Amino acid sequence: MEKKRAQWSSKLGFILAAAGSAVGLGNIWKFPGRAYEGGGGSFLLIYLFIVVLLGIPLMLTELALGRASQTNIVNTFKKLGYKQHSWVGWIGVIGAFIITCYYSHVGGWVLRYVFSYAFEAPAIYRDSLGYFYNMLGLHADGTTSIPWTALFFAALFMLLNAVVIIRGVEGGIEKFNKFGMPALFLLLIILLIRSVTLPGAEAGVKYMLSLDLGKVTVNTFFSALGQAFYSLSIGMAILVTYGSYLSKSEDMIKNTAVVCGMDTLVAVLAGFIIVPAVFATLGSGEVGKGGGFAFVSLAGVFAEMPGGRIFGVLFYLLLLFAALTSSISLIESIVAFLTEEFGWTRKRTTIILCLILFLIGCLYTCSQAAIPLKGIWYDGVNGITHPALCDFMEYLTDRIMIPLCALGCCIFVGWVWKPESIIAEVEQSGFRFRLAKAYTVLIRFVAPAAILAILILSIFSGVTLS
């Protein structure tokens, strides 16, 4: 007797889980910096336009592929009768595997900083860069050591993922996101209120609402395109997997729009938290993006802010929920493939997979301080050490594998399986696809062109879009 496939127990459960997969660290520590560089309100308008024009159709495509096949991303193409296109699914699964190796360790760093701001905030304020490097085993006197603290918290972060995933789709992932996503939004609202009420924050709010067209360049459009593309979990096996747990009665268009809207709302709220807070404490021009900004530069904001320690704890809790909801979805997409392809149990698969992911990720963390991999994974350039393994893993996934997987899905749906098949799958729920013609043009021509632009710029121009 064939085992019944897991399904989301409710529409809300799916929406929160899918939104959780999309909401990640990039929404919170990259979007504000990009919005600042792009002229505030000008960037927001461009970003919203791209999400509507490309984000929703691409997400709908991957979710519909999953629901149509009712299986993991690799087997999706086999089940639909196009086994030769399974390479697209393999890129998605392998990409998710590599991403999780380092993402889980960055999640561990975030978890560490929740405790750091609760108990060691003065030490961070004194030397935020030194504190961060010390956590990674790189000390002020030039010596290095095994970063046991970072590794411990990465293991704890991975354990949290495993506990949720072992409990299954409905009992684990859905239940966690029903708690995690409301908690994330509650933290966002608390931080937003605190940020915009700081003395001097109004300048940052005005900047985020202004249309500074003088700062809008071609790079602004590509920056918004890259942010939207990577923020929505496109090309990572996640959406196809989550779509495969969807009931045939669900309104996929409405659900997709809601998920994209929630993801965008988190990013915009993060912008209205970070930019006004930086304006109020450090002044304009200090808004950065990425891990260096989040772990190092923001310490200056918290140090200057009344109640900054509490603000810091809440901020890193926000990052923690964002990291967890994303990493859970990444691991689930791999677990779904392994359990369905090889018939392994969910519990055994999750435990072994999480252990392997953690151990490989240890190389990523240790390479930050060349422990013990000097000369193999680590380079010295002009006397300055450089984490080669870190760059390679992120380059491979962000600049090559994710765009290739998304491009493969677009080509498959646009020219092989045909848009009519997606339209039929969407309308199977009894809801008419009113923009079917526009969708066909977008998925055949506009989306592939945009993804190719991301791919070419990322690989050949050195522009970082992820």
Q: 290-304 pLDDT, tens per residue?
A: 888 999 999 999 999
Q: CA 282 to CA 15: how far, in whole Å? A: 37
With H, G, I as helix, E, B as strand and everything else as coil, classify residue 386: strand
Least confident range of 21-35, 68-82, 92-106, 219-233:
219-233
Give CA torsion, residues 136, 99, 338, 256, to 10 deg.
130
Mean pLDDT along residues 125-135: 92
| Model confidence at 376: pLDDT above 50 | no
454 pLDDT more than 90: no
- Closest to 31 in 3D by CA, of 18, 50, 44, 21: 44
Q: What is the rounded CA–CA span in Å between residue 145 and residue 350?
A: 30
Mean pLDDT of all residues in 18-23: 95
What does the pLDDT read at residue 380? 39
Band (262; pLDDT cuts 50, 70, 90): very high
Q: Quickly count: other Cβ atoms within 10 Å of residue 445's Cβ.
A: 12
CA dihedral 116, 118, 121, 123 (to 10 degrees): -50
Is 50 exceeded by the pLDDT of residue 1?
A: no
Q: How far is 66 from 239, CA to CA, in rounded Å?
A: 7
Whether 161 contacts 239, CB under 8 Å: no
pLDDT digits (tens, 9 = 90+) for 170-208: 999 999 999 999 999 999 999 999 999 999 999 999 999
Q: Is 0.75 surpassed by the pTM of this model?
A: yes
Tell me if 21 sits within 8 A of 321, measured CB to CB: no
pLDDT (tens digit, 9 = 90+) per residue, 137-181? 888 777 888 999 999 999 999 999 999 999 999 999 999 999 999
433 three-class SS: coil
**What is the reported pLDDT for 382?**
34
Helix (H) or strand (E) holding 311: helix 308-342
pLDDT band at residue 217 under the 50/70/90 scheme: confident
Kindly state the tokens that stand for 294: 């989040």
Asked if 219 and 453 count as a contact pair (C-beta separation under 8 A), the reply is: no
Tokens 């970063």, residue located: 147
Nearest partner of 105 among 331, 270, 323, judged by Cα:
323
Domains of the chain: 11-461 (1.20.1740)
